[in-house]
Structure 1
Amino acid sequence: MSTTLYVCTTCKADEVHEDDAQRPGAVLHRALTAAGAPEGVEIVGVECLSACKQGAAVALSEPGKWTYVYGRLSAEDAADILQGAAAYAATDDGLVTWRERPVIFRKQSLARIPPFTLPKEPAA
């Protein structure tokens, strides 16, 4: 399986843009695809990650792993985002140790979502 790096292409980051192609999310998506995905990672543009007040936003996901959503990102963060995506892809469960995460992933995490394979009963 491969890791998917979802990039919200409609994120405005509280800016006004007449041209949708100039939205911060679209600019970030172009920067990431131009830089190229790390091995085991696919970059996919999506229309909304519902993090509008925290855009531009990305999400890292893979079946059986924790999913992460990060916000307040820009095209200047592309290298760090790709480094973080590579570290995520290299894990079995999506949990990258704190020190191995790029600083933007340490400080700009919006959500951590458990894999769908976790038991649905609360832990004791």
Structure 2
Amino acid sequence: MTTTILVCDTCRFSAEEKLCGDKTGGEILGDHIAAALPEGVKMRRHSCLMGCDHHCNLAIRAPGKLTYVLGAFEPTAESAAAVVEFAAKFDESETGRVPFKEWPVGVKGHFVSRMPPIEEDGWE
């Protein structure tokens, strides 16, 4: 089973600014995440996750597991490290549930939604 971090590459750099130089915040966060990926976790860029009230949105998913949507990150290496650490714990989990006490501090307060596995509804 492969865990994927979907990073919105069109997300703003901050609530006030779209770009930092010639890159969006999502592009910068994606670069940091790609540089820190552990074995078993991959990253894919996706244009617009429709979380425009937040900036630097992403989703963490795997077949048969919960899907988490997170947002309002600073596009920094520290934010990326927290996301990657959570994704590694998610990957190790059978259902995608990671106990709150194991959440990295850098992801707390960034969760937007949690969705059930698609397979539970018979979708493919």
User: Do the structures match in fold with TM over 0.5?
Assistant: yes
**How much does 1:52 deviate?**
1.0
Give deviations 1:36-92, integer Å, cap 9, x for gaps: x11210011111111111110110000110000000112320111110110000001
Which residue number in structure 1 is paired with residue 48 of structure 2? Answer: 48
Which residue number in structure 2 is paired with residue 93 of structure 1? Answer: 95
Q: Which runs of 5+ in 1 are unaligned?
A: none
1:101-116 equivalence runs, <5 A: 101-116=103-118
Which residue number in structure 2 is paired with residue 31 of structure 1? Answer: 32
Residue 63, structure 1, aligned to residue 63, structure 2: yes
Which stretch shows the higher mean deviation, 96-105 or 22-31? 96-105
**TM-score, length basis structure 2:** 0.86
8 Å contact kept, 1:32–1:75: no
In 1, Cα distance between equivalents of 2:19 and 2:104:
29
Q: Which runs of 5+ in 2 are unaligned?
A: none
* Corresponding pairs, count: 118
Query: What is the aligned-residue identity percentage?
Result: 33
Which stretch shows the higher mean deviation, 110-119 or 1-10? 110-119
The one-letter code of the counterpart of 1:26 is E
In 2, Cα distance between equivalents of 1:109 and 1:50:
15
Give deviations 1:93-113, integer Å, cap 9, x for gaps: 000000111123331100100
Larger radius of gyration: 1
